[in-house]
Amino acid sequence: MAKVTHEFDLYGKHYVLETGELAKQATGAVLVKQGDSTVLVTAVVSKERKDYDFFPLTVDFIEKMYAVGRIPGGYLKREARPSEKATLTARMIDRPLRPSFPAGFRNEVQVVATSLVADQVNPVDTMCVMAASAAFTVGGVPFEGPLACVRIGRNPETGEFIVNPTYDERDASDLDLELAGSDSFISMLEASADEISEEDMLAAMAFGQEAIAAFCEEQKKFFEKFEQVNGPIQQREYVYDEPVPYVHDKVFAHYDEMSAALKDADKLSRIGKVELLKAAIKAEFTEEEQALYSREIPVELKSLEKHAMRCMVVETGERVDGRAADEIRPLMVKPDYLPLVHGSGLFQRGQTQVLSVCTLGMLNEWQRLDTIEPVDGKRYIHHYNFPPYCTGETGRMGSPKRREIGHGNLAERALLPVIPSEEEFPYTIRVVSEVMESNGSSSMASTCGSTLALMDAGVPLKRPVSGIAMGLIQEEGKTVVLSDIQGLEDFLGDMDFKVTGTERGITAMQMDNKATGLTPEILSQALHQAHEGRAFILKTMLDAIPAPRETPKDTAPQIITIQIPTDKIRDVIGSGGKVIRGIQDDTGATIDIQEDGNVFIAGTDGAAQDAAARIKAIVKVPEVGEEYTGRVVGIQPFGAFVELLPGKDGLLHISRVAQGRVDKVEDVLAIGDEVKVKVLEVDEKGKISLDRLDKPEVPGGSKGGHGDHHEPRGERRGERKPRRHPGDNGNVGSGRAPRRHHEG
């Protein structure tokens, strides 16, 4: 195979498609570039058909740290498990590819996307779909292509849409919409937005569909070049699982029984009835037939269930649980569900139940991200857990699966636009959504439950967020849009369309679509029907908790932010961290000092206030005219040193410790005495001169003035000691002599 390269420009960006040089033993391999960002996408199809009743497709996205010139962290110094971003990118590639393969295709397919260069300007994710589509085509793999994926941003000032924006353009955008599909329909959608309207979202989707078509057209030009150099692309031959008329007719003879078994609002009861019916139908086949049609019988049984459910909706307008198309399942909303935690909320919709728990922490507890993207980390974190018991099953517990990571990311994107800034709320925020029961739409229940938990924790959300999952049934020429779909309607329906938002607009969306006839009119109906559903759900939530708590709970850390001069940071830290550790040990607070002088102090039961007061005292510079009650910490012949603030003392000259002549400071003051003083002077070196307020009479002493006191002179090497003045009892040259004082 000879090397073929196709370069083109679209929407202000430069792209390259290339094949024939790398990974030539794969079924298909294509190198794709946007700017200098480069990804190699390979596709391999097994030679043998697998004995599965599903399509065995796996997609992996491999982040190579050399792509950004970094050595991986950790002991092994090599890439380990994929990051969340890598997992989400693999899902983005998988979702449009999977429905594009023919029904009955059972050969194993593996797609591997490897990042080779990440230029920190152009993201590497969306272009992988185009490369995978091209790899399938040049490899002669049957699928409904070409396919492409684009990201749509928007300039919030001009309203102009941007195709595949750079990282800087994304940061300035109020929309982040990823769309994938063919030149005629959208099969996958993922979005986050700053509360934009349904009309604006529809316009962005329509623009995105045009952009996808343009990238599909460029792929066709690439294939033409390939065939000019390497000859016609040879289509590979694969054996599909085809329906057997005898099996189909025998199974579908039980259509009425299946329709009756499906009419049950309780999920587990309905599943039980359906499984009993399937077992009974299977038993009608002889043992020889069951062995002969071991793959065909389960496929036809599933097809019967799907057909019966869909016909019920389009013919009668009634769903399996008796609801109308736009009806929401019964709701239960309980904020402040758990004691002691910082915030919690239980949200239940039908047989889907999610408990969300919010935890507040210091800003230095933000999550650091080690990826090939120019992102250091995040301070709002959402995690989603889907244990086996939530569906009444057993299973292995362990690290989160791709689905859990994807659902958690959707809920995180839904709430991120309404999370307050660091300046407004200086906390790291983590929400964990535990799915307790699941019968569809658990990610939307997670979004609603997390809103409750955040409000219960006192997080000042800009506006509360609710979410709903929409579905679609297209059967026998009829189309029905469903609100609040349950699990069966997701698995056997044509669309899973999740929409979240506030009363002002949409904050996030996710869609997987199997229907090629998804028109703009159907999308518009789905979005507006979702708007009504979101509003109904949000009203129920606000009836339970109308607004966020005014302050975090007592169990949450109180965080105080103060600003100190940068040249005082080392005074607060102290030698080897001695000072800051002492403050933390004494008060129980946690202190985080930033390089710019911002200090974040967290603690409960007044610990933060105590620590803040001590830090302010350390950095405080006494000013002329201020009065203090200080403690005598040192006595010299010429006066007493008084501690005004921790680490800050001033000199109270002997002439100012009492009314009258004082022969010895010790006659009036002792170490540990508290005295009220006033700041007279702060010189350029920071030395402080004090005057005592409410001076006492000198006990048994003269009441003459002290105008004849002179500032003592320091000793010089080789000179004799100078004569002391009458009132100077003590050593001369202490290095802390007071200024000369003259009484009028």
Note the pLDDT tens digit of each residue in 320-355. Answer: 999 999 999 999 999 999 999 999 999 999 999 999
Which homologous superfamily does the CATH classification assign to the domain defined by 622-744? Nucleic acid-binding proteins (2.40.50.140)
* Model confidence band, residue 477 (pLDDT cutoffs 50, 70, 90): confident
Higher pLDDT pick, 306 / 646: 306
| 676 residue type, one letter | K
Q: Hey, what are 111's tokens?
A: 């797609």
Question: Cβ atoms within 10 A of the Cβ of 569, count?
Answer: 17
Q: SS3 letters for 254-310? A: CHHHHHHHHCCCCHHHHHHHHHHHHHHHHHCCCHHHHHHCCCHHHHHHHHHHHHHHH
pLDDT at 20: 95
pLDDT of amino acid 700: 65
What is the mean predicted confidence (pLDDT) over 249-274? 93
pLDDT, the chain, mean:
90
Model pLDDT, residue 727 = 40
- The pLDDT of residue 520: 85
Does residue 416 register a pLDDT over 90?
Answer: yes
The helix (run of H) or strand (run of E) holding residue 353 is strand 352-361
Q: At residue 729, does pLDDT exceed 90?
A: no
Q: Is the model's pLDDT at 491 over the cut of 90?
A: no
What average pLDDT does range 270-292 have in this prediction? 93
The answer to whether residues 626 and 691 touch, using CB atoms and an 8 Å cutoff, is no
- Rounded percentage of the chain residues whose pLDDT exceeds 70: 94
Looking up tokens 């002889």 gives 286
4-230 carries CATH number 3.30.230.70: yes
Relative to beta strand 107-117, strand 57-62 is parallel
**pLDDT, average across residues 716-720:** 36
Q: What is the pLDDT of residues 535-577, one digit of tens each?
A: 999 999 999 999 999 999 999 988 888 999 888 898 889 888 8
- Distance from C-alpha of 253 to C-alpha of 167, rounded to nearest angstrom: 57
Is the pLDDT reported for residue 717 higher than 50? no
CB-neighbour burial class of residue 29 (10 A; exposed 0-12, middle 13-18, buried 19+) = buried
CB contact at 8 A, 444 and 534 = no
Domain parsing of the chain, residue ranges: 4-230, 245-316, 331-544, 558-619, 622-744
Q: Say how far apart CA 330 and CA 380 lie, in whole Å.
A: 30
Annotated binding site: 490, 496
**CATH class, range 558-619:** alpha beta
- Whether residue 497 is predicted with pLDDT greater than 50 in this model: the reply is yes
CB count, 10 Å around CB of 737?
18
Query: What confidence score (pLDDT) does residue 279 get?
Result: 94
106 pLDDT tier (thresholds 50, 70, 90): very high
Same fold, 558-619 and 622-744: no
pLDDT, one tens digit per residue, over 57-69 is 999 999 999 999 9
Does 116 have pLDDT greater than 80?
A: yes
The runs of H, that is alpha helices, within 18-126 are: 84-97
How far is the C-alpha of 542 from the C-alpha of 696, rounded, in Å? 66
- In terms of pLDDT, which residue wins out, 73 or 677? 677
**Residues β-bridged to residue 469:** 498
Residue 526 has pLDDT above 80, yes or no: yes
pLDDT for the residue 514: 85
In whole angstroms, give the CA distance from residue 77 to residue 735.
Answer: 57
Record: fold of 331-544: Ribosomal Protein S5; domain 2 (3.30.230)
Question: pLDDT higher for 644 or 344?
Answer: 344
More confident residue, 630 or 646: 630
Query: Mean pLDDT, to the nearest integer, of 592-617?
Result: 88
Given a cut of 60, whether residue 123 has pLDDT beyond it is yes
> For 682-715, how does the pLDDT look when each residue is reduced to its tens digit (9 = 90+)?
888 889 999 999 899 887 654 444 444 444 433 3
Report percent pLDDT > 90 for the chain.
69
pLDDT of residue 207 exceeding 90, the answer is yes
Tell me the binding residues for Mg(2+).
Answer: 490, 496
CA distance 580 to 586: 10
User: What stretches of 139-191 show up as alpha helix (H) in DSSP?
Assistant: 167-172
Selection from 415, 419, 420, 490 nearest residue 447 by Cα: 415
Give the pLDDT confidence score for residue 726 in this predicted structure: 39
Q: What is the pLDDT of residue 604?
A: 83
Q: Is the predicted pLDDT of residue 444 greater than 90, yes or no?
A: yes
